[in-house]
Structure 1
Amino acid sequence: MNASLNELSPKLKNTSSGFTLIELMVTIAVLAIIAGIAAPNISTQLADQRVKSTAATVANALKEAKVESIIRRQDIIFSYDNDGDDAGTIEIENDSDTIATYQYDANSTITSTASQIEFKPSKTADAMVYTICDSNDSALPRQVIITAVANISSQLGGSCP
């Protein structure tokens, strides 16, 4: 009886288990379609994250400049430079030295009516709106707003060139 269990029937010997070439091709085609649909969404999310990160960096640098002007009792200048292919640079400085330097992603650009703003020890500043955009046009721009009394806020909005 055990001998008959060890031998496979001729019908089972001829059939093979596994996937056919057509089944594998269909599976790969379905995966390619799903990846093609998901890829643009992922790149847009990454661009939105870059914009959000750059806006947070700008807001933090502005807050630091505001606090430094109060602590040092000096006028403090906040400036930015979109370096083209290299990472952008934000500098906080007074008349004699650089207080802090920040870097932001090269794909992000900051635009405003002036490239620098001055914070005064009297807790005032030049009113300004900074718009942060990304090289990916599908990313939503953000704005960092500074009021005349040096209140700093960030929000979605603005338009990119």
Structure 2
Amino acid sequence: MNASVNNRQPNRLMANSGFTLIELMVTIAVLAIIVSIAAPSISTQLANQRVKSTASTITSILKDAKVESVIRRQNIQVVYSDTAKTIVLKNTSGTVLTSYDINSRSTVSITPNSTNTVTFQPNKVTANGVKVTYTICDNNTAATPRKIEVSTIASISHKLEGTC
């Protein structure tokens, strides 16, 4: 039996020995090239997802405030704080009903610039007949901005447009 083990051909032993260092280096180089090509696309996709998430959150908050004003039969204010990155719902007496956090990488600009507040009235309109537009952007400028419009009749629309 020992004679058959010793009589093996050396070529068979070399064929099962694994990968060479050069093969591994070429494989790693190819993977590095693929990752470097895909990385910018992935970061843009993540930025777009952050903008989409922030826009959905703000849309949901505005709709909640509109419904809450009808249920409570009083004005509900939606106040955005850019420094704290929060949105607060307040009733007519100024009591904070709910507070929501916004993604810190998102940038929200409001038109008209003079107001960071939208007030929903129980009769399903906004106070003072003001049309308010929220434009949501991201720190990554490659992200596509989104726009949320609150009309004077408290209609809330979410669009894939805007400029940062």
* Aligned counterpart in structure 1 of residue 102 of structure 2, from 98, 101, 104: 104
Counterpart in the other structure of 1:65? 65
How many residues align? The count is 156
| Structure 2 partner of 1:38 | 38
Provide the secondary structure at the position in 2 that maps to 1:15: helix
Whole-angstrom distance in 2 between the partners of 1:69 and 1:149: 14
Q: 1:91 aligns with which of 88, 98, 105?
A: 88
What is the alpha-carbon distance in structure 1 between the residues aligned to residue 7 and residue 14 of structure 2? 11
- Which is worse superposed, 15-24 or 143-152? 15-24
| Cα gap change, 1:4 to 1:101, in 2 (>3 Å) | same
Correspondence for 2:121: 120
Matching residue of 2:76: 76
Change (3 A) 1:48 1:13: closer
Q: What is the CA-CA distance between 1:41 and the residue it aligns to?
A: 1.1
Q: CA deviation at 1:35?
A: 0.8
Residue 8 of structure 1 deviates from its aligned partner by 3.9
TM-score scaled to structure 2, two decimals?
A: 0.87
Per-residue CA deviation, residues 72-102 of structure 1 (Å, 9 max, x unaligned), is 121111111122xx6x100110232011111
> TM-score with structure 1 length normalisation?
0.89
Gapped regions of structure 1 (runs ≥ 5): none
Q: Given residue 104 of structure 2, which amino acid in structure 1 is its aligned partner?
A: A
Q: Secondary structure at the match of 1:105?
A: coil
Identical counterparts, % of pairs: 47
Q: 1:9: how far off?
A: 3.3
Paired residue type of 2:92: D
The 1:13/1:143 distance shift into structure 2, 3 A limit, reads closer
2:151 to 147, 152, 155: 147
Q: RMSD between aligned alpha carbons?
A: 1.8
